[in-house]
A and B are shown apart, each in its own frame.
Chain A
Amino acid sequence: DGGITQSPKYLFRKEGQNVTLSCEQNLNHDAMYWYRQDPGQGLRLIYYSQIVNDFQKGDIAEGYSVSREKKESFPLTVTSAQKNPTAFYLCASSIRAGGDEQFFGPGTRLTVL
């Protein structure tokens, strides 16, 4: 899992609550990403950031929010507006925007009770 850490590993949320997933990297990468993984599906992009203080919506951004105040940190908040938040969430980073491979964290499994 390289130099990317995600916490917590497991997270349980009651309906109506917002929760924040942590993602930290010490690889000095400019770009960071959040993906959602559901069984039998590939990864889907939630948000991405090419540089500090900048981020863009991915394919399924509704009900999620992010911030990028520091190069090494890219936290994801799952809001109560996300209708089906139970999933495995993966954070990734790459050296820069472009055709480089992405390095993934170990993931956070979120379950809504």
Chain B
Amino acid sequence: AQSVAQPEDQVNVAEGNPLTVKCTYSVSGNPYLFWYVQYPNRGLQFLLKYITGDNLVKGSYGFEAEFNKSQTSFHLKKPSALVSDSALYFCASRFSAYNNNDMRFGAGTRLTVKP
């Protein structure tokens, strides 16, 4: 069955250091991959997506993600973390261009950036 996994519940980094939030997927075929961020008691905000093309995708707020088909991964990265990046991050994937019911979300990774 198609699924998305975020292997880390929590990631802690110091401000100014690079950050990585990991995501792996399990699917047959070509997935559409997304990253969202959620601040406390708020909805999810879209950061970036991979549909096709260049494996390195750039998104909002300086975030980027690299699609790696051989490792079935789509890790979120940022070269220099900010305290304001502290939030809950969700990886998501879908596997059809036509259905609405196949979006799968990871359990989320809480990122804490310390000053």
Contact = CB atoms under 8 A, between A and B. Distances in A.
Interface of A: 1, 4, 6, 31, 33, 40-45, 48-50, 56, 58-59, 88, 90, 92, 94, 97-99, 101-107, 109
Given A45-B103, A107-B42, A107-B43, 20 more contacts: A1-B42, A1-B43, A31-B100, A33-B100, A33-B103, A40-B9, A40-B108, A42-B4, A42-B104, A43-B105, A44-B105, A56-B100, A90-B44, A92-B44, A94-B100, A99-B94, A101-B34, A101-B49, A106-B43, A107-B41
Chain A at the B interface: mostly helix, strand, loop or mixed? strand
Contacts of B43: 1, 4, 6, 90, 92, 104-107
5 contacts: A41-B107, A48-B101, A88-B41, A99-B97, A104-B44
B46 A42 contact: no
Interface of B: 4, 9, 32, 34, 36, 41-46, 49, 51, 90, 92, 94, 96-101, 103-108
Contacts, number: 70
A37 B98 CA distance: 24
Contacts of B99: 97-98
A10 to B, nearest CB: 9
A58 B107 CA distance: 18
Contacts of A58: 101
Nearest to B43: A104
Nearest to B32: A99
Contacts of B101: 45, 48, 56, 58-59
Given A31-B100, A56-B100, A101 B42 contact: no
